Amino acid sequence: MNKKTRVAVFVSGSGTNLQAIIDANIPNVEIVVVVSNNPNAYAIERAKRHNIPVEVIDHRNYSSREEFEREIIKKLEPYRVDLIVLAGFMRILSPFFVRAYKNRIMNIHPALLPAFPGVNAVRQALSYGVKYTGCTVHFVDEGVDTGPIILQSVVPVYDDDTEEKLLERIHKEEHRIYPEAIRLFAEGKLHIEGRRVFIRD
């Protein structure tokens, strides 16, 4: 029997990407813990409904980012995590944390990186006037939304789009490519060379 890939999903909010990953039932992947910095995140309910252990680590209880992150690392230890998946996790991870899980942290961003990094990516895209945007799954490096790209998906921007309509179109693609990226990781198919990620058997 193959060893399952043990995944921790980090959340702060409603957890729709968490739900998509749960629903994808990825072979040989087990979500072993959900970590939330927000004790009121709806994602916690989703985890409980699926009997996934939850660790709430409220950043407001820690005097520094490093203290907060040391606590996360400590809490993660017994779960022997192979991969951390950021799913709407609203805290920036420091280089200290990123180095501890080098090439084992994924994030999803609602734009075709390197376009529109940072917050309000959908609003940024809409007001810039691009005709296509999308979403990007990438490994997390020490910058903000700068790490090696694993998968992207493209969606059109229509003349009569609102931020809400466009976001909905992007979310649909996120819920498709995030589980796909995790599957590729679990199957050992992702190979990082410099800043490029190649998919190989």
* Sites of contact with its own copies (CB under 8 A): 112-116, 127-132, 134, 148-149, 151-152, 154, 159, 194-200
For the CB of residue 112, give the shortest distance to its own copies in the complex, in Å.
6
The distance of closest approach from Cβ of residue 149 to its own copies in the complex, given in angstroms and rounded to an integer, is 5
The residue among 53 and 148 lying less far from its own copies, judged by its C-beta, is: 148
Q: Is 191 a known active-site residue?
A: no
Residue of 50, 59, 109, 171 with catalytic role: 109
CA gap 76, 56 in Å, rounded: 11
Q: Minimum distance from CB of 132 to its own copies (Å)?
A: 5
Q: Which is nearer to its own copies, 96 or 128 (CB)?
A: 128
- Phi, psi (degrees; rounded to nearest 5) at 85: -115, 115
Name residue 118's amino acid.
Answer: G
**Pick from 98, 86, 96, 101: which is nearest to 35 by CA?**
86
Would you say 52 and 79 are in contact if contact means Cβ atoms under 8 Å apart?
no
Of the two residues 94 and 152, which places its CB atom closer to its own copies in the complex?
152
Least separation in angstroms between CB 189 and its own copies: 11
* The pair of three-digit structure tokens given for residue 90, joined into one six-digit string: 């609203």
Q: Which C-beta is closer to its own copies: that of 80 or that of 131?
A: 131
Active site residues: 109
